[in-house]
Structure 1
Amino acid sequence: MKIKLNRIDNDYHFELKNERGHVTFIDSKAEVGGHDLAPSPMEYVLMGVAGCSAIDIISILKKQRQEITAYSAEVEGVRVPIDGAKPFKDIFVTVYLEGEIAEEKAKRAAQLSFEKYCSVSKTLEPTAKVTYKVVVNNKEV
């Protein structure tokens, strides 16, 4: 896996491209010298957790013939200062599912994703605690 980064302006706005040609951008907040034209690198980490777990959970539930009509998630990260850096200490994920989905299957799919399959969560595991909850058809399970 390889990513190429190119600077766009004289500050902190960058274009990133993967080997398959997909393009995205990174910037920093205006208060630290950026132009706030794109998510920050740390916001992309949270997006990675959301996307990785979504792929896992949907895949697991599809294999179990569960009918998902809507999927969304909210991810919140808590950072702590350590030697000049501010890594994530805690990451909280709420998964929202709608459809003809057995609650226990949804709960198990999330457990498998966050505790076994999600490479992003597993990468963060040594330094950040990732916790989650699952809401199926507006009911926390």
Structure 2
Amino acid sequence: MKIHLKRLNENYHFETVNERGNVIHLDNKSEPNPQGASPMELLLMGIAGCSGIDIVMILKKQQLELTNLEMDVEGFRVDGAVPNVFTRIHLKITIDGEIPENKAKRAVDLSLEKYCSVAKMLEKTAEITTEVILNGSPVKK
């Protein structure tokens, strides 16, 4: 797995390209008009995408009809810490479809506890918590 990074301006705006040609822009979020996501935002996007792929795959293997999947991810850091790593990450996962509550919860748990490589890396420094909403109702833990 490889990416290429190129600086695009005199400050912190970068373009990254993977081996398949997909482009992601990065920037320093402290800039007046950032032109891309910050590296720490990309980590949150990474756990959302990784877990989202797992959840869809797990539910598809069970032949369950998923009509919608959305995720809000929030990362928490200690102000002024150097390096300023995430100490807690919370995922609010909204699932819609003809899916039993226990299967939705199990898919989320399997993703974060077993399959999601990003979560497994981040759990070394951050507590990862979840909240699952199924068809508009919270799923009990």
Range of TM-score over shorter length: over 0.9
**Which residue does 2:28 correspond to in 1?**
28
The Cα of 1:84 is off from its aligned counterpart by 2.2
Selected match of 1:110 from 102, 108, 111: 108
For residues 24-45 of structure 1, give each alpha carbon's deviation from its aligned partner in whole angstroms, at most 9, with x where no partner exists.
100112xx34631111110010
TM-score, normalising length from structure 1?
Answer: 0.94
The Cα of 1:80 is off from its aligned counterpart by 1.7
For residues 80-116 of structure 1, give each alpha carbon's deviation from its aligned partner in whole angstroms, at most 9, with x where no partner exists.
2575221000000011011111110000000000011
Say if 1:81 and 1:87, in contact at 8 Å, map to a contact too: no
Say if 1:28 and 1:35, in contact at 8 Å, map to a contact too: no
Aligned length: 139
Aligned to 1:114, the other structure's residue is in SS state helix
5+ unaligned residues in a row in structure 2: which ranges? none
C-alpha distance in structure 2 between counterparts of 1:72 and 1:94, whole Å: 8
**Which residue does 1:53 correspond to in 2?**
51
The Cα of 1:131 is off from its aligned counterpart by 1.1
C-alpha distance in structure 2 between counterparts of 1:20 and 1:81, whole Å: 37
Moved more, 50-59 or 130-139: 130-139
Q: State percent identity of aligned pairs.
A: 50
Supply the RMSD in Å over aligned alpha carbons. Answer: 1.3
C-alpha distance in structure 2 between counterparts of 1:135 and 1:12, whole Å: 38
Kindly report which structure 2 residues correspond to 1:80-119, keeping only aligned pairs within 5 A, or say none.
80-81=78-79, 84-119=82-117
